[in-house]
Structure 1
Amino acid sequence: MTQPLTVVATITAHPGEEAAVRAALEQVVPPSRAEAGCLRYELHVDNAEPAKFVMLEEWTGEAALKEHEATAHFLALVAAIGKAADIKVDKLTKLA
């Protein structure tokens, strides 16, 4: 069995882009959760920095994440926020 893959995506909206980035992020949640390889897909906002969003994701494995990254809803998200935010993605494997 493949080890689940955890993804922590930190998205920081550029000034004035907060509402648009949030809307785009909220829109991708339902179809992402419906994907077969998705175990968890949660959107959070930083209480101290409202322009900073954190997406906590868990996938059945790297293949499931690659499938997610090829979906129309993910590609639309990238197009919508690519120039409106800075994005940092960490991929983690659970040790214990």
Structure 2
Amino acid sequence: MTLIIVATIDAQAQHIDAVRAALESVVAPSRAESACLRYELHLDNKIPTRFIMLEEWTDKAGHTAHEATPHFKTLVAAVGDKVVKIDIAELSKLK
């Protein structure tokens, strides 16, 4: 069963550009991972400091491997002190 991830990243207002750049930098290498089925970055139309990453992975192990990649670790380090909050929802598709 695939694993769906919805990551909500709330940037500090003064760091919107840096957070966006860091998030954009992981899209291509994440999509290239063999377990990645979907990896899309979105901006909330009503909250300009909020980014939403929609992801789909072949399974939990594939997502765990993603979290161990150099590009993911670089992302975490780059946004760590520039965000207000990060919320990660792990979903299982029912239908």
TM-score w.r.t. the length of structure 1 is 0.96
Task: Give 1:82 deviation, angstroms.
Answer: 1.1
Match of 1:16 among 14, 17, 28: 14
Give the alignment of 1:74-89 within 5 angstroms: 74-85=72-83, 86-89=85-88
Give the match's secondary structure for 2:25.
helix
Do structure 1's residue 90 and structure 2's residue 89 form an aligned pair? yes
Give the match's secondary structure for 1:16.
helix
Deviations 1:50-90 (A, max 9, x none): 11000000000000000000000000000000111121000
Q: Aligned partners of 2:93, 2:26: CA distance in 1, in Å? A: 25
- The two structures, once aligned, show a CA RMSD in angstroms of 0.5
Which blocks of at least 5 consecutive residues in structure 2 are unaligned? Answer: none
Runs of 4+ in 1 over 6 A off after TM superposition: none
Task: Give 1:15 deviation, angstroms.
Answer: 1.9
Matched to 1:93, the amino acid is S
Question: What percent of counterpart residues are identical?
Answer: 56
Give the match's secondary structure for 2:45.
coil
Which blocks of at least 5 consecutive residues in structure 1 are unaligned? Answer: none
Give the match's secondary structure for 1:39.
strand
Residue in 2 that maps onto 1:31: 29
Give the alignment of 1:2-81 within 5 angstroms: 3-81=1-79
